[in-house]
Amino acid sequence: MKALVTGFDAFGGDAINPSCVAVQSLPARIGTLEVVTAVLPTSFRRATTTLRALMRREQPDIVLCVGLAADRAAISIERVAVNLDDARLPDNDGACPRDKPVVRGGPAAYFSSLPVRKIVTRLTAENIPCELSMSAGAFVCNHVFYALMHLAAQREQRLHAGFVHVPALSALSREQMVRALTLVLDSTRRMK
Ligand code: PCA
């Protein structure tokens, strides 16, 4: 089994993006699961084309996208992606879509196909601050999450796919983030 795990590059004037730091520190294997990592550009246009190309190349069984939510203090296990782009700041290409669908004519929302409740229980048991989240926002992260679930819905084989937001490194250490993502992947691989 293979997992594709992505982080995002820095945006909004920051020098680094903790999602990228955490993803790139993941082990290459978790049990029998092979872990392939990549960085997506924080760009509405390029992030989804990059993700699609990675999925075509890697043919993963699990896709976990990870982004930064700097205003949160815990790991957010995202439950739902909405069909809305409504940027609060320009992306890395200067694009700032408002009130636009991610996919014209697409369903209003998709649910994560990760075992979200089980994940929160497991992280909590290890004292990692985490919560189920009802919104991944309406910026590039939600855009990628929605595009990912839209792709998954069109595939014939089952794909476990979802999104996790990490907080700033001042709220949670890199080691804790890596442990959290490892537990997310381990819980998901055990679903199979
Ligand atoms: N966080 C942003 C986009 C990239 C990232 O890491 C978001 O929450 O939409």
Q: What percent of the chain has pLDDT over 90?
A: 97
**pLDDT per residue as tens digits for the range 47-85:** 999 999 999 999 999 999 999 999 999 999 999 999 999
Q: What is the 3-state secondary structure (H, E, C) of 162-186?
A: EEEEECCCCCCCHHHHHHHHHHHHH
Q: Whose CA is nearest to atom 9 of ligand 1?
A: 141
DSSP assignments along 68-117, one per residue: E-TT-SSEEEE-EEES-B--SS--TTS----SB-SSTT--SEEE--S-HH
**pLDDT at site 157:** 84
Domain that holds residue 26: 2-189
Q: Whose CA is nearest to atom 2 of ligand 1?
A: 141
The Cα–Cα gap between 177 and 158 comes to 27
**pLDDT at site 156:** 80
Active site positions, annotated: 78, 141, 165
Phi, psi at residue 163, to the nearest 5°?
-140, 140
**69 CA from centroid of ligand 1 (Å):** 6
Closest approach atom of ligand 1 to CA 20: 6
Closest approach atom of ligand 1 to CA 66: 6
**pLDDT per residue as tens digits for the range 139-183:** 999 999 999 999 999 988 889 999 999 999 999 999 999 999 999
Domain containing residue 71: CATH number: 3.40.630.20
Tally of domains within the chain? 1
**pLDDT at site 192:** 53
Are 163 and 10 within 8 A, CB to CB? no
